[in-house]
Amino acid sequence: MIALFTDFGTEGPYLGQMRAVLQTRAPGIPVIDLMHDVPAHDPRAGAYLLAALAPEFPFGSVFVCVVDPRVGSERKPIAVRANSRWYVGPDNGLLNVVEKRAAEVEWYDITWEPDRLSSTFHGRDLFAPVAAIIARGEEPPGRVTEPRLADWPDDLEEIIYIDRFGNAISGTRAAGVDPAAGIDIGGQRLARARIFADVPVGQGFWYENSNGLVEIAVNQGRADEVLGLSIGMPLTIG
């Protein structure tokens, strides 16, 4: 299958145009909308979200990843195979975390150029066609090179996403955190709970979310509003 991972949002023509390219060039291959509200213009936040979400997809899946604030600049288009899944997108760090955590990685600089290449919509004109080529079982149209990885930590102690309920997701995997540890953020200290019902209504806590990340929530409330949380806010675990 092909999975779309972008900061486009769901309004406007952009997703429809990308899906049309994929259906035309890779007919019959399912296209899944994984996430379209990645924090805008923030490939670092997107990198940790992508690494947490990708393992749910079967081997051979192809991800079209577009969080690309420098589209049309000198940044390179790339295709990466990491642990038998493919990722196509910009070389701006967006794919770095899946690469760093993978046991096997192949990195391709995309050299193919389409007949039409908008300077501001590589998602439609470049990344989607390349993803379709790979999904059809063909080799990526580029050359193999050494990975160029950003100097980012394996786990990011920072808020990278706030969902529609106001829960604040961090870039830290919960498996490596002592369940007895507290989290300090915004001048507040939060203890761990297993589920929302383990704490009183209106109380904040942290827990391991369904994708294995440290998440901060308020039982039946919005953690972003009650605790004053925002994307990019650092947290301290200990």
| DSSP sequence for the chain | -EEEEESS-SSSSHHHHHHHHHHHHSTT--EEEEES-SPTT-HHHHHHHHHHHGGGSPTT-EEEEE--TTTTSSPPEEEEEETTEEEEEESSSTTHHHHHT-SSEEEEEE----S---SS-HIIIIIHHHHHHHHTTPPPSEEEE--------SSEEEEEEE-TT--EEEEEEGGGS-TT--EEETTEEE-B-SSGGGS-TT-EEEEE-TTSEEEEEETTB-HHHHTT--TT-B-EE-
pLDDT tens-place values along the chain, 238 residues long: 999 999 999 999 999 999 999 999 999 999 999 999 999 999 999 999 999 999 999 999 999 999 999 999 999 999 999 999 999 999 999 999 999 999 999 999 999 999 999 999 999 999 999 999 999 999 999 999 999 998 999 999 999 999 999 999 999 999 999 999 999 999 999 999 999 999 999 999 999 999 999 999 999 999 999 999 999 999 999 9
Asked if residue 151 belongs to a domain, the reply is: no
Copy the structure tokens of residue 148.
């160029």
How far is Cα 23 from Cα 21, in angstroms, rounded to an integer?
A: 6
Query: How many independent structural domains does the chain possess?
Result: 2
Q: Cβ-count burial of 92 within 10 angstroms (0-12 exposed, 13-18 middle, 19+ buried)?
A: buried
pLDDT given at position 35? 98
pLDDT given at position 46? 98
Question: Model's pTM, two decimal places?
Answer: 0.96
pLDDT given at position 208? 98
Do 135 and 163 lie in a common domain? no
Is residue 108 within 8 Å of 82, Cβ to Cβ?
no
Do 28 and 141 lie in a common domain? yes
Is residue 18 within 8 Å of 9, Cβ to Cβ?
no
| Dihedral Cα 145, 150, 155, 159, nearest 10 deg | -130
Do 6 and 114 lie in a common domain? yes
Do 122 and 172 lie in a common domain? no
Do 65 and 120 lie in a common domain? yes
Do 114 and 15 lie in a common domain? yes
Enclosing domain of residue 14: 2-145
**CATH label of the domain that carries residue 52:** 3.40.50.10790
pLDDT given at position 181? 98
